[in-house]
């Protein structure tokens, strides 16, 4: 029987259709064919048609840096799609096209959405007050003063924050109020009582620079972001002396073994994920470590699921295996050579006898410590030594910190070992040894337990020394015959750290799997000369002890020779965006062309203090320190104060007197202002503001946000912010510290001041929690309405924003908005401020000789009489600068003269930029009159972009070459050829409009793109023997600072997540009660948003659950009768969240995920607990600071903006979760 | 022989990251308008899961596609065409809006315009259909990343018959993504279902379109399409569906979903087929023979006889050249790694899929397993987290060995390439063990991994 349709009758009847249609019906009557292009198609042709396509990108904090085509029809933005014109990576690699993600693809929705901020807004309560006062006093500054000085009025408008009542204002009125608040605050309290916050410049550098330039010109600190977001891996400065430098995603292709550990690439690196999926086809093995079945697990060959927060245990055990099999029982020349040349493992460390007769690891032995040729050489206290096998003596190798500065180090700051043969270990069967006490932190009660394990030692002068390597083996529990102490019997011995069996009890990862993956990882590196890579990120980095997690992981990539290799090493992917034209950016953003130094503040510490969270530390530093007695009787707040006064960390507001009043007082006394300050500090007449945080003289008054949603996204302890910073309603129920838990050196006010801020101003294009709570909201142009530049470390290109349409309604670009503010500010300053001297108090900086302030990392506190207060040495540097407040606008819009006289400095290299300034003069034109007369103009956003690109080696080949030539003198190594191919190349804004442009290899970064190579960090260090910016000049594992030693963290170790039951009395995980079941509370990145951006976007909401959700395992859900999509409530001492549950077995029992950052603006009902609006993900968290992050003034542990600082960790939290039983109301 | 050209797509599910960029760019370009709020021409499903609309694969319920009658003739599953004509006023097999989802928005303006309130203002959801406040209970992508779950995926029609192999427990978790557009079938059931003759297959490239002028909104196409990829615009009262972006294809640029796919997993190309063979192929008796039968319809553009016939049938020369270079053809015919979605619906779908690999299960992990180890190369396929049976239910009407063969080729490619990656010589035996030459294996690697823009489209 032949095939056919239906039966013959139907066929005959229906088949008649073919006679009635013009289209062709197939002979078998199945289908009708018709040629395309007929009238019926026109509907879709119309839909597709458009007038123009404009290149732009997204200024969002995602590291994507994707170039987009924006389609415009009839002057309306219709949609967007990815550009595909990235320069090629070469014939044998995948390409970067197309880059983009669903969030970015939905961006144009915002342009015309009902959540768009179209006009300036002010809360009616405040606007009315201001208008009345303005009418009464005539002067806006006086008017502002009359409001904020009136307690009743101030309280009234502050209490109204967040609760609706925003009304339209004109730009002139809104800007005048903002300018008046700034002028008043500077006049009354000092410029360091103002702060600006805008995150992650890389994504829109001009927009960041706009407000930053204004703030720095008036002397207001810019708040950091990388540490605040907990994205800064403190292990990076600790080990590499580098903020963070990572491979571009194209370099994943080069890896032959890839572990994804705490970074969920498909979600958070969506446009890059293909490199990972494709590299597998090249035979790359992929392993994922993740506590849940995360999206990236799908691509793995193997999935190991360590319990949340226990990653360091797994990494330590893997290190145990690698050390045992490749360094002790086995030997690999490649590893041996690498660690001797590029790490501190062969360096000598003293072993010191304690009062109780025990031994402890001590300090790095340096040239100044013993009889040797270099003992009296320059910087001898910063020249650590190795033991030379050849001469049988301790010797200073090239490349130490001591060689980096000063005349004697010229040509010697390099990693050339010359004839030196560093000895890795002093072990032999007959070696002398001592048992050193090493802490472990895995006891059930969380308290440190000490164990003794032996290290071989030799004598150098009066010192008993061993090597870092020998200490490392002792720490990792890798025994060798003849050494005393407690050692494990084998991998299967769970009693002694850090064996595979030991970690299995903590992580639940099978010991076998742990050992095998470690072995494979190292073996692969042997086979490929270092092409084993670990991608890491928030999952492992957002913990309180993340520095330890990372140090344990970085041990793996470093001792196997993977760092500084294409396809190898660490790849830290969270918040790490890279401002490729860094040097030019710093000048534009921080106004270094006009005034130096800038005021930079660590934001975590800032809010820890000014949102009153320090008051809720119901523990002493030693409690959180697991009983190591590192800081007897002190609180974290005490340590913060100590850090500030010793010049380790920045601290703003700095003193209890205005920074512009102090120079006047000194002048009145006829004393140099520095001497005056030192004197008054000693006498106690001048105090750090930190000493009395609740004193109205001592807290910030004005905060401006742009490109930022602090209150809906990054504010750890959001409810503390609302109550104490803003004076609004907050859901905190935590108790404050009891008298015996309070700071020792800080005045304890009876009450916290609620509503510290006089003004919160936000510039944004959409409504967020931050705009909702702001006093003034200015309407911003979107990313499709302005010029700007964008870079990332995920790819090596720089490209541009361009307006597809002009800023609609009354929105303005960030640059134009800040210009308006600067202009009015300068006008108001004429009567109120004039020119003032401002005393800038600056911490000791990394990459400068100030990093040699603390020999041996021995802490000496002038306040305790342990040394004299010497500015720039034992306390912060004191630098008076002159600020002409009437000229702020003129300076903001011109390129300043310090570039001509001082050049510009980046990461320790100073550049002459005379020719560059001259080019800017020619291209931008010259300011004719006024304070900036003769200077290159800086009127437009494009000109700011040009300034940034002109003044950076990444975009200007002349500067890159110059920088390398300068570096050649210090290192004695050939460098400049790295940029030679691009010496004449300069990337202009017009170039970035044509297509993404590949950047130039520059000393601003540690890797090389030369010859079209994929970027991998530290390749220049490894290949050109350029030292790392550390004490030894090598990758550093042993941190001998007093505090690190005291905390038991001189070496990598495992410390469990914080015990919130012990610290705060929260219920133990798994406990059930009236409020549900207690679970660990994590806030990973969200699939449907980039931080809080896009979470309110209708497309993203339609593809997800349409509002706030929390993911919970089926087991936990069953315990408290929660079903999928049930409304639930989470409650802990920090706040309350009302949201819906997503129940899935891909979640591990005992842990919930509330994805960061679901703002409280979309479908959040009133809570069951207190009938108030539910909170955000950060309503459940709070700031927890770790003392070791406050260290400064010592080698790589010295401060720089976003380089080091306390991280606002957020993963150690717990909460109760229950099913909602009362009706859902709004 | 009647040579026809078909614009076709292959999606490599092994590379799909489930990001939904394709869905958003498609929605923005095509269906972001009134009447189409609930419509996603392109959607991405997490499997196991219910899909969009919910349980669309359950043809016992929805009666989509064709079935083979005992007389050996094909008939629409929902009844023959005559019956359809007779029942156009009461189409019983339409998914309700709840099977898709009730589209919603929010009163966003409250955030800016709220008067002074007791509590912080919030934007509440309201239905785009009724305009009333609503509690969101389903979306077009509700089970995204759930990896199933006892609540939802137990109802996944694809689990039928393999319930014992899938446990929704932490240790057994697996999931993958299935992006879907219209299949632009060689034997489209939607077109056959249309009483108005409004659905047609373009002669030159096989794209299936709804003539917006002719459509009378009977919605028989919605029922007839087993993939549920024809949608009803409730504002215009007409059917709409994926157009394979013909306004773009016609000027030589790929579809929106393909060009914006950041996983770089979509390939577009021409397939030549013999239209005279389609009905026979769609009518083979055993569902599991349908894949081979459909492959049998495809013509080799390098075959001089095919070239002559194509010329005679009016296919332009450059189309024949395009068919030679077609990455889709290479993946379907040369390497045999792409498979059709639900061949058993007998519509001869033309969007094909490369099935995904997945991590090995814990039991293998504990005993020591190395994916790149030659010795483990094939043993591993049985230990993958995604049950091969589940993939077979999607792509081969349940025929496991065919899926198994594809997965083995991918595993072999990785092993083959690892030797090269590590600087060694490739082992031709690896390629031979899955019936490929070393050269083909390397070329397949380039097409799947390096996948330059010009190679994908």
- Asked whether residue B88 carries a pLDDT value surpassing 80, the answer given is no
Q: Between residues 302 and 331 of chain B, which touch chain A (CB distance below 8 Å)?
A: none
Percent of chain A with pLDDT over 70: 97
pLDDT score at B383:
84
Q: What does the alpha-carbon distance between residue B188 and residue B209 come to, in Å, rounded to a whole number? A: 11
Count of CB atoms situated within 10 Å of the CB of A1068:
11
- Phi, psi of B236, rounded to the nearest 5 degrees: -85, -15
Looking at residue B365, which CATH number applies to its domain?
3.30.70.20
Q: Are residues A464 and A531 in the same domain?
A: no
Distance from CA of A198 to the nearest CA of B (A): 22
Task: Determine the average pLDDT of the residues in A888-912.
Answer: 98
- Asked whether residue B90 carries a pLDDT value surpassing 80, the answer given is no
Q: Are residues A487 and A349 in the same domain?
A: yes
Distance from CA of B406 to the nearest CA of A (A): 14
pLDDT score at A18:
47
Domain for residue A292, yes or no?
yes
Q: What does the alpha-carbon distance between residue A792 and residue A577 come to, in Å, rounded to a whole number? A: 5
Domain for residue B214, yes or no?
no
B74 touches chain A (CB under 8 A): yes
Task: Determine the average pLDDT of the residues in A1025-1048.
Answer: 98
Domain for residue A422, yes or no?
yes
Q: What does the alpha-carbon distance between residue B320 and residue A443 come to, in Å, rounded to a whole number? A: 72
Place of tokens 């060009």: B259
* Closest CA in chain B for residue A274: B263
Q: What does the alpha-carbon distance between residue A245 and residue A794 come to, in Å, rounded to a whole number? A: 11
Summarised one tens digit per residue, pLDDT across range B282-326 is 999 999 999 999 999 999 999 999 999 999 999 999 999 999 999
Q: What angle do CA B302, B307, B308 make, to 5 degrees?
A: 145
Q: Are residues A478 and A351 in the same domain?
A: yes
Q: What does the alpha-carbon distance between residue A738 and residue A753 come to, in Å, rounded to a whole number? A: 18
Q: Are residues A349 and A482 in the same domain?
A: yes
Domain for residue B79, yes or no?
no
Task: Determine the average pLDDT of the residues in A202-229.
Answer: 98
Question: Is residue A538 a contact partner of residue A1084, using CB atoms and an 8 Å limit?
Answer: yes
Summarised one tens digit per residue, pLDDT across range A133-145 is 999 999 999 999 9
**Which chain A residues are closer than 8 Å to B141 by Cβ?**
1102-1104
pLDDT score at B367:
52
pLDDT score at A227:
97
Domain for residue B281, yes or no?
yes
Nearest to B359 among A100, A108, A297 (CB): A297
Domain for residue B303, yes or no?
yes
Confidence class of residue B360 from pLDDT cuts 50, 70 and 90? confident
- Asked whether residue A22 carries a pLDDT value surpassing 60, the answer given is no
> Is the bond into B48 cis (omega within 30 degrees of 0)?
yes
Q: Which of A1016, A1047, A1078 is the last residue of a domain?
A: A1047
Task: Determine the average pLDDT of the residues in B81-86.
Answer: 68
Task: Determine the average pLDDT of the residues in B387-414.
Answer: 96
Q: What stretches of A981-1088 adopt beta strand conformation (E)?
A: 997-998, 1072-1073, 1076-1082
Count of CB atoms situated within 10 Å of the CB of A1171:
12
Summarised one tens digit per residue, pLDDT across range B138-191 is 999 999 999 988 888 888 999 988 988 888 999 999 999 999 999 999 999 999
Task: Check the CA dihedral A74-A76-A79-A80 and report its sign.
Answer: positive
Task: Say if strands A393-395 and A386-388 run parallel, antiparallel, or are unpaired.
Answer: antiparallel
Q: Do B28 and A1099 touch (CB under 8 A)?
A: yes
Confidence class of residue A41 from pLDDT cuts 50, 70 and 90? confident
Number of domains making up chain A: 3
Q: Are residues A383 and A465 in the same domain?
A: yes
pLDDT score at A1:
44
Q: What does the alpha-carbon distance between residue A303 and residue A545 come to, in Å, rounded to a whole number? A: 23
Q: Are residues A394 and A482 in the same domain?
A: yes
Q: Do B283 and A3 touch (CB under 8 A)?
A: yes
Summarised one tens digit per residue, pLDDT across range A1114-1146 is 999 999 999 999 999 999 999 999 999 999 999
Q: Are residues A421 and A458 in the same domain?
A: yes
Domain for residue A363, yes or no?
yes
Summarised one tens digit per residue, pLDDT across range A856-877 is 999 999 999 999 999 999 999 9
Mean pLDDT over the full length of chain A: 96
pLDDT score at A613:
98
| Residue range(s) defining the domain that contains residue B369 | 265-456
* Closest CA in chain A for residue B112: A166
Q: What stretches of A618-749 adopt beta strand conformation (E)?
A: 702-706
Q: Which of A520, A547, A572 is the last residue of a domain?
A: A572
**Which chain A residues are closer than 8 Å to B186 by Cβ?**
31
Task: Determine the average pLDDT of the residues in A798-804.
Answer: 98
Task: Determine the average pLDDT of the residues in B402-427.
Answer: 94
Q: Are residues A529 and A479 in the same domain?
A: no
Nearest to B116 among A48, A82, A164 (CB): A164
Q: Helix, strand, or coil here: A168?
A: strand
**Which chain B residues are closer than 8 Å to A17 by Cβ?**
197
Number of domains making up chain B: 1
Summarised one tens digit per residue, pLDDT across range A310-360 is 999 999 999 999 999 999 999 999 999 999 999 999 999 999 999 999 999
pLDDT score at A1178:
98
**Which chain B residues are closer than 8 Å to A1147 by Cβ?**
170
Q: Which residues lie across from B272 on neighbouring strands?
A: B5
Q: Between residues 23 and 62 of chain B, which touch chain A (CB distance below 8 Å)?
A: 23-25, 27-30, 32
Q: Are residues A387 and A304 in the same domain?
A: no
Question: Is residue A660 a contact partner of residue A190, using CB atoms and an 8 Å limit?
Answer: yes
Confidence class of residue A40 from pLDDT cuts 50, 70 and 90? low
Nearest to B81 among A10, A24, A1162 (CB): A10
Domain for residue A547, yes or no?
yes
Task: Determine the average pLDDT of the residues in B440-450.
Answer: 98
Nearest to B151 among A10, A163, A1143 (CB): A1143
Confidence class of residue A228 from pLDDT cuts 50, 70 and 90? very high
Confidence class of residue A298 from pLDDT cuts 50, 70 and 90? very high
Domain for residue B123, yes or no?
no
Summarised one tens digit per residue, pLDDT across range A731-789 is 999 999 999 999 999 999 999 999 999 999 999 999 999 999 999 999 999 999 999 99
Identify from A1103, A1116, A1176 which residue to disrupt to test chain B contact, counting B C-beta atoms within 10 A and taking the largest count.
Answer: A1103
* Closest CA in chain A for residue B82: A10
Q: Are residues A352 and A413 in the same domain?
A: yes
Q: What does the alpha-carbon distance between residue A524 and residue A257 come to, in Å, rounded to a whole number? A: 7
Domain for residue B277, yes or no?
yes
Domain for residue B66, yes or no?
no
Q: Do B30 and A47 touch (CB under 8 A)?
A: yes
pLDDT score at B175:
96
B87 touches chain A (CB under 8 A): no
| Residue range(s) defining the domain that contains residue A288 | 241-322+500-572
pLDDT score at A1103:
97
Q: Are residues A405 and A460 in the same domain?
A: yes
Summarised one tens digit per residue, pLDDT across range A139-196 is 999 999 999 999 999 999 999 999 999 999 999 999 999 999 999 999 999 999 999 9
Q: What stretches of A765-876 adopt beta strand conformation (E)?
A: 776-779, 788-790, 797-801, 835-842
Q: Are residues A480 and A526 in the same domain?
A: no
- Asked whether residue B373 carries a pLDDT value surpassing 70, the answer given is no
Confidence class of residue A647 from pLDDT cuts 50, 70 and 90? very high
Cβ-based burial of A154 (10 A; exposed 0-12, middle 13-18, buried ≥19): middle
Identify from B258, B365, B366, B451 which residue to disrupt to test chain A contact, counting A C-beta atoms within 10 A and taking the largest count.
Answer: B365
pLDDT score at B238:
96
Confidence class of residue A42 from pLDDT cuts 50, 70 and 90? confident
Task: Determine the average pLDDT of the residues in A383-388.
Answer: 98
pLDDT score at A746:
97
Q: What angle do CA A65, A67, A73 make, to 5 degrees?
A: 140
Domain for residue B275, yes or no?
yes
Place of tokens 């503010």: A821
Identify the helix (H) or strand (E) that includes residue A1042: helix A1042-1047
Residue B226 CA: distances (Å) to CA of A28, B13, B189, B238, B275:
21, 21, 8, 19, 21
pLDDT score at B407:
95
């Amino acid at each position: 029987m032949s095939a056919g349709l239906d039966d013959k009758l139907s066929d005959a009847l229906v088949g008649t259709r073919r006679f009635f249609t013009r289209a062709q019906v197939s002979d078998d009557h199945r289908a009708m064919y018709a040629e395309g292009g007929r009238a019926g198609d026109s509907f879709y042709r119309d839909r597709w048609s458009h007038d123009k396509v404009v290149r732009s990108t997204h200024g969002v904090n995602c590291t994507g840096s994707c170039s987009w085509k924006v389609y415009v029809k009839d002057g309306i933005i219709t949609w967007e799609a990815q550009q595909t014109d990235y320069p090629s990576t070469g014939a044998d690699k995948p390409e970067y096209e197309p880059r983009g993600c669903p969030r970015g693809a939905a961006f144009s929705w915002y342009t015309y959405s009902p959540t768009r901020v179209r006009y300036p807004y002010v809360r009616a309560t405040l606007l009315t007050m201001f208008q009345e006062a303005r009418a009464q006093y005539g002067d806006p500054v006086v008017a502002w003063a009359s409001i904020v000085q009136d307690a009743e009025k101030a309280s009234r408008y502050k209490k109204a924050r967040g609760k609706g009542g925003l009304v339209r204002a004109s730009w002139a009125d809104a800007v005048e109020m903002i300018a008046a608040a700034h002028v008043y605050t500077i006049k009354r309290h000092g410029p360091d009582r103002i702060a600006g916050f805008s995150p992650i410049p890389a994504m829109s550098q001009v927009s960041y620079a706009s407000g930053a330039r204004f703030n720095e010109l008036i002397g207001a600190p810019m708040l950091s972001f990388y540490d605040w977001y907990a994205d800064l891996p403190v292990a990076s400065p600790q080990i590499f002396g580098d903020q963070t430098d990572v491979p571009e995603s194209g370099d994943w292709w080069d890896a032959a073994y890839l572990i994804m550990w705490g970074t969920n690439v498909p979600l958070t690196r969506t446009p890059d994920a293909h490199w990972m999926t494709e590299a597998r086809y090249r035979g790359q093995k992929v392993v994922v470590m993740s506590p849940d079945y995360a999206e990236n697990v799908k691509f793995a060959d193997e999935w190991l699921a360590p319990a949340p927060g226990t990653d360091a245990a797994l990494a330590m055990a893997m290190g145990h295996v690698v050390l045992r099999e490749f360094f002790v029982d086995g030997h690999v020349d490649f590893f041996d050579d690498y660690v001797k040349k590029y790490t501190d493992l062969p360096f000598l460390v003293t072993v010191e006898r304690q009062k109780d007769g025990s031994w402890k690891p001590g300090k790095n032995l340096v040239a100044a410590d013993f009889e040797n040729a270099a003992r009296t050489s320059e910087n001898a206290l910063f020249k650590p030594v190795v033991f030379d096998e050849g001469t049988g003596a301790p010797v200073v190798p090239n490349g130490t910190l001591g060689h980096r500065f000063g005349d004697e180090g010229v040509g010697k700051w390099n990693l050339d070992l010359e004839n030196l043969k560093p000895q890795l270990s002093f072990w032999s069967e007959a070696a002398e040894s001592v048992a050193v006490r090493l802490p472990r932190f895995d006891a059930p009660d969380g308290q440190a337990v000490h164990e003794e394990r032996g290290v071989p030692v030799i004598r150098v002068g009066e010192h008993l020394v061993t090597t870092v390597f020998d200490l490392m083996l002792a720490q990792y529990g890798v025994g060798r015959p003849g050494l005393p102490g407690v050692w494990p019997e084998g991998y299967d011995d769970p009693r002694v750290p850090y064996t595979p069996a030991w970690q299995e009890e903590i992580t639940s990862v099978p010991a076998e799997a742990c050992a095998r993956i470690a072995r494979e990882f190292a073996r692969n590196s042997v086979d490929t000369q270092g092409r084993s890579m670990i991608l890491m990120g928030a999952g492992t980095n957002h913990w309180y002890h993340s520095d330890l997690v990372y140090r344990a992981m970085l041990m793996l990539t470093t001792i196997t020779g993977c760092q500084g290799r294409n396809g190898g090493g660490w790849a830290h992917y969270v918040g790490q965006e890279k401002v490729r034209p860094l040097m030019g950016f710093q000048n534009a953003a921080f106004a270094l062309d006009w005034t130096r130094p800038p005021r930079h503040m660590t934001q975590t510490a800032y809010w820890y203090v000014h949102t009153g969270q320090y008051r809720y530390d119901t523990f002493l530093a030693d409690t959180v320190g697991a009983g190591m007695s590192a800081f007897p009787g002190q609180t974290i707040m005490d340590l913060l104060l100590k850090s500030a006064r010793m010049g380790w960390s920045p601290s703003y507001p700095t003193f209890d007197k205005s920074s512009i009043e102090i120079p006047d007082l000194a002048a009145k006394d006829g004393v140099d202002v520095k001497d005056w300050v030192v004197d008054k500090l000693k006498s106690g007449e001048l105090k750090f503001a930190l000493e009395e945080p609740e004193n109205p003289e001592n807290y910030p008054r004005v905060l401006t946000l742009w490109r930022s949603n602090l209150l809906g996204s990054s504010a750890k302890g959001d409810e503390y912010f609302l109550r104490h910073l803003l004076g609004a309603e907050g859901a905190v129920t935590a108790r404050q510290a009891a008298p015996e838990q309070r700071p020792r050196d800080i005045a304890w006010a009876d009450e916290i001041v609620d509503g510290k801020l006089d003004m919160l101003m936000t510039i944004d294009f959409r409504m967020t929690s931050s705009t909702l709570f702001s006093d003034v909201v200015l309407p911003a142009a979107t990313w499709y309405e302005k010029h700007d530049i964008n870079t990332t470390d995920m790819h090596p290109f720089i490209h541009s924003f361009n307006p597809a349409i002009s800023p609609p309604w009354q929105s303005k670009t960030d640059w134009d908005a800040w210009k308006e503010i600067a202009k009015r500010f300068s006008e108001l300053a004429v009567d109120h401020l004039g020119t003032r001297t401002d005393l800038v108090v600056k911490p000791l900086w990394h990459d400068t000789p100030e990093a040699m302030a603390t020999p041996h990392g021995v802490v000496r506190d002038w306040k305790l009489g342990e040394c004299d207060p010497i500015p720039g040495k034992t306390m912060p540097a004191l630098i008076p600068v002159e600020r002409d407040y009437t000229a702020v606008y003129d300076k903001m819009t011109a390129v300043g003269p310090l570039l001509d006289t001082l050049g510009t400095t980046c990461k320790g290299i100073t550049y002459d930029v005379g020719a560059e300034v001259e080019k800017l003069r020619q291209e931008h034109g010259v300011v004719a009159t006024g304070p900036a007369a003769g200077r290159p103009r800086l009127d437009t956003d494009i000109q700011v972009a040009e300034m940034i690109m002109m003044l950076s080696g990444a975009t200007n080949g002349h500067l890159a070459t110059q920088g390398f030539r300068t570096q050649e003198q210090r290192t004695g190594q050939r460098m400049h050829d790295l940029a030679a191919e691009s010496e004449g190349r300069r990337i202009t804004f017009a170039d970035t409009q044509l297509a993404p442009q590949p950047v130039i290899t520059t000393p601003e970064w540690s890797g090389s793109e030369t010859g079209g190579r994929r970027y991998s960090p530290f390749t220049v260090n490894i290949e050109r023997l350029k030292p790392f910016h550390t004490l030894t000049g090598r990758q550093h594992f042993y941190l001998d600072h007093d505090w690190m030693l005291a905390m038991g963290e001189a070496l990598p170790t495992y410390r469990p997540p914080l015990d919130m039951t012990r610290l705060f009395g929260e219920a133990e995980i798994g406990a059930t009660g009236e409020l549900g079941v207690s679970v660990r509370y994590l806030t990973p990145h969200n699939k449907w948003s980039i931080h809080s951006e896009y979470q309110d976007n209708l497309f993203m909401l339609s593809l997800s659950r349409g509002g706030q959700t929390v993911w919970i395992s089926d087991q936990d859900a069953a315990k408290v009768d929660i079903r999928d999509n049930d409304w639930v409530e989470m409650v802990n001492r920090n706040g309350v969240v009302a949201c819906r549950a997503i129940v899935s077995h891909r979640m591990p029992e005992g842990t919930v995920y509330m994805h960061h950052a679901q703002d409280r603006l979309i479908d959040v009902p009133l809570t069951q607990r207190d009938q108030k609006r539910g909170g955000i993900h950060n309503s459940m968290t709070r700031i927890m600071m770790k003392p070791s992050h406050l260290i400064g003034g010592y080698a790589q542990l010295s401060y720089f903006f976003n380089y080091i600082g306390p991280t606002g960790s957020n993963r150690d939290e717990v909460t109760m979760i229950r099913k909602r039983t009362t009706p859902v109301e709004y | 022989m009647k040579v026809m050209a078909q614009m076709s797509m292959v999606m490599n599910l092994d590379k799909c990251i489930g990001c939904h960029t394709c869905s958003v760019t498609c929605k923005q370009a095509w269906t972001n308008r009134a009447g189409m709020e609930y419509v996603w021409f392109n959607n991405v499903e997490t499997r196991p899961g219910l899909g969009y609309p919910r349980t669309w694969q359950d043809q016992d319920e929805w009666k989509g596609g064709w079935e083979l009658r005992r007389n050996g003739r094909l008939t629409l599953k929902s009844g023959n065409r005559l019956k359809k004509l007779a029942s156009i006023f009461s189409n019983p097999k339409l998914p309700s809006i709840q099977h898709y989802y009730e589209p919603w928005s929010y009163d966003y303006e409250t955030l800016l315009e709220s008067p002074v309130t007791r509590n912080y203002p919030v934007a509440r959801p309201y239905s785009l259909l009724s305009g009333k406040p609503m509690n969101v209970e389903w979306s077009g992508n509700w089970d995204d990343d759930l990896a199933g779950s006892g609540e939802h995926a137990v109802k996944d029609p694809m689990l039928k018959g393999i319930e014992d192999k899938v446990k929704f427990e932490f240790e057994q978790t697996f999931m993958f993504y299935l992006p879907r557009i219209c299949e632009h079938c060689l034997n489209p059931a939607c077109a056959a279902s249309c009483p108005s003759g409004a659905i047609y297959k373009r002669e030159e490239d096989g794209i299936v379109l709804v003539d917006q002028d002719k459509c009378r909104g009977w919605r028989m196409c919605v029922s007839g399409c087993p993939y549920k990829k024809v949608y009803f615009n409730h504002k215009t009262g007409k059917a709409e569906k994926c157009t394979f972006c013909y306004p773009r294809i016609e000027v030589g640029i790929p579809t929106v979903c393909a060009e914006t796919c950041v996983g770089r997993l979509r390939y577009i190309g021409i397939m030549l087929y013999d239209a005279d063979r389609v009905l026979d192929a769609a009518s083979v008796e055993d569902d599991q023979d349908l894949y081979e039968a459909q492959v049998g319809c495809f013509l080799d553009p390098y075959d001089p006889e095919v070239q002559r016939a194509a010329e005679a049938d009016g296919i332009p020369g450059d189309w024949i050249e395009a068919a030679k270079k077609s990455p889709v053809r290479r993946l379907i015919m040369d390497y045999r790694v792409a498979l059709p979605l639900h061949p058993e619906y007998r519509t001869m779908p033309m969007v094909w899929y490369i099935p995904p690999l997945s991590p090995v299960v814990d039991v293998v992990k504990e005993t020591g397993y190395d994916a790149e180890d030659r010795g483990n190369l094939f043993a591993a396929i049985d230990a993958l987290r995604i049950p091969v049976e589940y993939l077979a239910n999607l792509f081969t009407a349940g025929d496991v060995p065919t899926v198994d063969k594809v997965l083995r080729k991918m595993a072999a490619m990785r092993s083959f390439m690892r030797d090269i990656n590590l600087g060694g010589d490739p082992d031709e035996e690896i390629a031979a063990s899955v019936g490929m030459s070393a050269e083909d294996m390397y070329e397949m690697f380039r097409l799947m991994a390096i996948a330059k823009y010009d190679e994908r489209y």
